[in-house]
Structure 1
Amino acid sequence: MLDSVVSLSDFLSECISGLFESSDLPPLVLELIDFSIRLSIIIVISLLVFWITRRLLLHYGIKLISKTKNIYDDYLVDRRVLHRISHLIPALVIFHLATLLLDIYPIGGRIIHSIAVIYVVGVAYFTVSGLLNVLEDIYNTRPYSTSRPIKSYVQLLKIILFCITAILLIAYLFNVKVTGIFTGLGAMAAVLMLIFKDSILGFVASIQLSVNKMVRVGDWISMPGYNADGDVLEITLNTVKVQNWDKTITTIPTYALVSSPFMNWRGMHESGGRRIKRSINIDMRSVRFCTPEMLEKYKLIHHLKDYIVEREAEIERFNKEHNIDSSVKVNGRRMTNLGVFRKYMENYCRRHPLLNQDMTMLIRHLQPTEKGLPIEVYTFSASTKWADYEGVQADIFDHILAVIPEFDLKVFQEPSGADLQDAISGLGSILIKEN
């Protein structure tokens, strides 16, 4: 095949040269005409090969891939690997034909040959890069890909591939040895480390993140230092993309996740419960011992009936054993409305269908302040979804605010405009009566 092309090229050159022999053209012009003929043959053949290659690969190849049940070969189309290969074969044809047909023209042949080499190496680089993307896409279909992403490793391979491609092209174009280039790079090591500092740090950090399972795609992380609070979208060699809850995107250097503190909420999702930790302030002036009438009223509450009966029997038995004079309230043991309320809230939470009963559940006092006595609800919702969690939390405290008056307790609230207005009105009424 190649011999036929060479013979055709020589034949056409001789024919056309014969036509111009009688025209007394300078030899340089005749050489340019011959060079143009040979170059035209190379271009025509390469275009023909390019058309055939694209026809086979893109038309029939894509049609064949679409008919297969295997989804992995679809990534070859999505990543345009076949499109890049269709450029590779014509480039190789130009490379070989330039060697055969233009060897008698050192300068022109060298230029065309160099262009062909650059084109072949460039197309090969983009083809291999596309294959790396295909491997990453195939890997991402596996269930463990979210916990062990390889995007940073693929990016590192692309950087190495680019460096190798650049070194090969420089060695070819400037006719120097590859070892000589590496010697020069060794002398520039400090400069290169400065240039690729982020990539080196990011690569080391990505390995640490992957090995230690510190963060993965889909995790909810909070990093106040970078104003990041949301889901991890992507982990690359240099950056980690986080979509915040307001739908903005925050970009964090990969190495910052190793060198700086951050909070990963993955444990909360995996545990199956999200913590509710909120308190409500009770006016301490409303706390008192329970009277028999109050206890009878509390016995009518479904969550308290058994508790009140058992507690009354326990206190009565204790007071009798210790000869307590019950006529004085401070003697012995007594129930308080706040204690009964805490037990009510505990039983209420224990029977709440949307709370996780296998996790810690407390109704506890916090340190009293000038704003009252905080009663904290410490429990976990059964759902980790944000909307469900907020709904359960709001439902619990809606209920607390509604039932507190039933226990003769008051919620502490700082005086507002309405309170001051009522106080002034009441004071005005008193002054009018006195006058």
Structure 2
Amino acid sequence: MLSRRRRYIVFCLLWLSAIVLLKLLKSSPKDEPLDVSRGHASQIVLTERKATGLPKETGNDRMPIRVDSENEHAPEKLKSKMLRDEIEGLAERSKNVKVSIPSDKSKSVEKLNSQTKDKIRREVVDFNKISDVKSERKALGVKKQTQQENELKRRFPHIIMIGVGKTGTRAVYEMIQMHPAIRGPLKEIRYFDRNFNLGIEWYMGMMPQTYTWQETIEKSPGYIRSRDTPVRLLAAMRQFNRTRVRLVLVVRDPFTRAVSEYLEWKWLRMRTKVTLLPFDKLVLDKNGEVDINCPPINTSIYIYHLNYWLKYFSIKDFCFVSGEMIVADPYSEMQQLEQCLGLRSYLSKDNFVYVPQRGFYCLRNHGRSWCMNKSKGRKHPEVEKSVENKLRAFYAPYNKKLYEITGRDFGWT
């Protein structure tokens, strides 16, 4: 009897030791550089998304690369019956969701865990707190309104900045909100691509309270690459009886933007055990050609992503902003954006203050001045001239198509 008991104890100890050993092996970091092969970039992204607490992307969040020369112009109406059925199906299902917009913003984040809640609600500049509503309304020529018209309410966005990341979207977002008729959430919501499962009630709860003479703006730079976002957005527009939403797309020299995204990856790498390859090796495949599936390279093919959106929206719904001009002359660029959005001219040169130490403009409004985060404007690493030339030659035909469809030459060489 004693020997059986001893054998049982030894068996249990060995079993527990094996479990502990397996857990240690699974959690051990891998410091080896990732091989430059097909799919290595996606592997880096998945690791870094996990480290930063971002939700797992669906298969539709990453688009396969195939740049077509067809469909360069958007149809005025959706012609595909399958597409209309898909949108109507989403709209029909959304009717079953009761949309009640909470008066207190804290109620709208009950479904979120504390980490996500803190990330979204961390304040940068709350324009509603620093603005003088009466003087701004007078400056815009808004007539005296009734009590009902003057009621604060959360509204479905009139303007959405859909991208592109690492082009200056945050700067444009804060600049346009110096206009008293534009208000938006303090942080990126990313509802239509990453947080769609939280529901439309949560999304509307994230919107700021605005007056009838104001318009709501939302910024989520990842929308431009999401296959699901256009269809989901159209379904939501039908649900809220919105016939039009204006889309803002900020673009920048594609080579410079790709390097900037790489720097973002390096920053994320500091929080992980992933060893990132040098930019020169990361963007080229085994044959020394441009790796079109590498996310920094992929995202900079603006015309490809724009053509996909033009299957659902008209080119007239878009406003294009130059990331280079936001750095060099933000006032003139924001004037063009005001005009494109149909806003009354309001911003002046006094709203933009050049700071030589930082090399770009800071903002000033209502006696308050602020600059972009220190992470903006990082110094770019040196890239081999042969690799830079190869990338610029790769982007050249796509840039030309973008110039043609937007009617604007952004001057990239």
Report the TM range for the smaller structure's normalisation: under 0.3
TM (normalized to structure 2)? Answer: 0.21
When Rg is computed on C-alpha atoms for both structures, the one with the higher figure is 1
TM-score normalised per structure 1: 0.20
Greater relative contact order, per chain length (Cα 8 Å cut-off, separation 6+): 2
Q: Indicate the structure with greater helix content.
A: 1
